[in-house]
Amino acid sequence: MTVTALIVAAGKGERLGGDVPKQFRPIGGKPVLRWAVEAMVRHPLINQVRVVIGAGQRDLAEAALSGLPVGELIEGGVERSDSVLNGLMAIAEGTVLVHDAARPFCPTDVIDRLLGALEGCDGAVPVVAVADTLGKGSGGVLDEPVDRKQLFRVQTPQAFHVEDLIYAYEEAGRNSATDESTVMLAAGLKVATVEGDPMLEKLTTPADWSRAEAILSSRFVSR
Ligand code: CTP
Ligand code: MG
């Protein structure tokens, strides 16, 4: 069964700001997107990598990806889910790891755990525990304690069988889903959790970017 890494890179990076969308900006000496793709290309169980980009981003993408085996670039859509669906239609079958380009540093062992867990489930996602105490309330007051032991932050890559994920999107619709696990659950499918990694945090805001730069300069990350 072919394992495809589908990297969605068609966003505009508005919350980070700057002249160029974040996935094309260099960090630690190379574009964010290049880091994300290289992590997938280097994994022995991943057979192919496909990248979804926005209309008008082709030159930036080709420069960021030069020399990497990514096949034909796929055009994305207005919402992230549109970009994912366009990618799924292009792949059509096999196993897919849907991954945000904005998460450049993906450890090999997370991918191992995802593909292992997918054997017994409809999907598998990496999660990290929530460290802060959580509150629930409105109107400026807390009204309920929250048990954080049952709550996780859900990361990407997320592993599925392509046909199941297309079925889930057809069944549940796209709504405002920000990831595929939400769509799978809405369609009644079973998604396993595996241990994620702090290095997989998404680069969303300028503070995230500064933190990632600090981590890169303080420790060795294989290039
Ligand atoms: N993405 C995409 N197509 C879209 C929107 C987002 O492929 N229409 C991708 C982004 O490129 C990113 C990932 O989905 O790799 C996660 O989205 P997010 O962090 O929200 O990135 P942006 O949408 O680019 O950022 P912002 O929301 O701040 O504009
Ligand atoms: Mg976005």
Residue 140 lies in a domain: yes
Residue 112 lies in a domain: yes
Among protein residues, the one with the nearest Cα to ligand 1's atom 4 is: 80
Residue 136 lies in a domain: yes
Total number of domains constituting the chain: 1
Residue 222 lies in a domain: no
Residue 223 lies in a domain: no
Quickly list H helices, the chain: 32-41, 58-64, 80-91, 108-118, 162-172, 180-186, 206-218
Per-residue burial over 60-76, b = 16 or more CB atoms within 10 Å of its CB, e = otherwise? bbeebbeeeebeebbbb
> How many CB atoms sit inside 10 A of residue 78's CB?
9
94: DSSP letter: S
Report the CATH number at residue 98: 3.90.550.10
Tell me the whole-structure pTM to 2 decimals: 0.95
Residue 176 · residue 199 · CB < 8 Å = no
Nearest bound ligand to CA 21?
A: 1
User: What protein residues have CB closer than 5 angstroms to ion ligand 2?
Assistant: 11
Mutate to test the pocket of ligand 1, among 23, 100, 153, 203 (most ligand atoms within 8 A of CB): 100
Nearest bound ligand to CA 10?
A: 1
Residue 91 lies in a domain: yes
- Nearest-atom index, ligand 1, CA of 78: 8
Q: Cα separation of 159 and 218, whole Å?
A: 31
Q: Find out whether the beta carbon of 9 lies less than 6 Å from any atom of ligand 1.
A: yes
- Model ipTM? 0.99
Among protein residues, the one with the nearest Cα to ligand 1's atom 13 is: 100
Q: What is the chain's pLDDT, residue by residue, as a tens digit (223 residues)?
A: 899 999 999 999 999 999 999 999 999 999 999 999 999 999 999 999 999 999 999 999 999 999 999 999 999 999 999 999 999 999 999 999 999 999 999 999 999 999 999 999 999 999 999 999 999 999 999 999 999 989 999 999 999 999 999 999 999 887 678 899 999 999 999 999 999 999 999 999 999 999 999 988 887 655 5
Phi, psi (5° rounding) for residue 119?
Answer: -65, -30
Q: Find out whether the beta carbon of 76 lies less than 6 Å from any atom of ligand 1.
A: yes
- Structural domain of residue 133, as residue ranges? 3-217
- Element (DSSP H or E) covering residue 191: strand 191-195
- Nearest-atom index, ligand 1, CA of 204: 19
